[in-house]
Amino acid sequence: MEYTDGLLRGDGELSVGERELIATYVSALNACSFCTGAHRAYAEVFGIDGALIDALIEDFETAPVDERLRPVLAYVAKLNTLPSKLIKRDAQAVYDAGWSEAALYEAVQVCALFNMMNRIIEGTGVNFDYAEAPDGHPAAGSTPGDQAATYRRFGEMIEAMAKG
C-alpha cells in the first residue's frame, strides 16, 4: 500500500484529483463497481466534479473534460483496452497538451495499478458498490488533508486484522 500511497497521494505533475479520476475511469472501463465508486469519492474530495465523472464514464467523446487532460485520458483508455495498439502519436498528443514524460508515466502507473487492483477485487468476489451507500465510504465528509495517507492507513488496518 506504500506504493499506492506514493503514486496517488505523493507529489506529481498530475494533481491528486486527476490521478483519482484516472483510477475511477480505468475502474469503470473494467466494470469494477467497487473501485469505480471508491475512487470516484476520492476524486470528488480532491476537486473533481461528480457530473464530469458521470459524463466521462458515459461517453468520453462528449464529456466536458479539460482539453489539456483529454489526451491523457485517451492514452489511458487505449492503454487499458488496446495496449499493443499504442503508437508514438498517442504519447505525442499528451506532450503537445503540455504534459511531461513524467506526467505520462504517472498516468501509465495509475492505469497499471488499477488493472491489477480491479482484478484482485473482482477475483476475490468483492461486490460492495459505494454508489449505493456513499455514506459508508471513508472519504464521506472528509477534506483532502484527511485523505493524505489513505492507502497506507488501509494497509495497516488490513495487517492488524490479519494478525488478529
**pLDDT tens digits for range 16-75:** 999 999 999 999 999 999 899 989 999 999 999 999 999 999 999 999 999 999 999 999
Cα torsion for 108, 56, 140, 143, to the nearest 10°? 60
Residue 144: pLDDT band (50, 70, 90) is low
Residue 47's region, left for phi above 0, alpha for psi from -120 to 50, else beta, is left
- List CB contacts of 67: < 8 A, sequence separation 6 or more: 97
- Cα–Cα distance for residue pair 96/77, rounded to 1 Å: 18
CATH number at residue 40: 1.20.1290.10
Element (H, E) at 7: helix 2-9
Please tell me the total count of domains within the chain.
1
Stated pTM of the model: 0.83
Q: What residue numbers bound the domain in which 27 lies?
A: 2-163
Q: Can you tell me the distance from the alpha carbon of 61 to that of 78, in angstroms, rounded to the nearest whole number?
A: 13
- Which residues, including other chains, have CB under 8 Å from residue 121's CB and lie 6 or more apart? 32, 34, 35
CA distance 154 to 164: 16
Q: What is the pLDDT of residue 160?
A: 60
**Lookup: cell for 153:** 492507513
Mean pLDDT calculated for residue range 133-148: 60
Phi, psi of 98 (to 5 degrees): 105, 5
CA angle 105, 77, 134 (to 5 degrees): 95
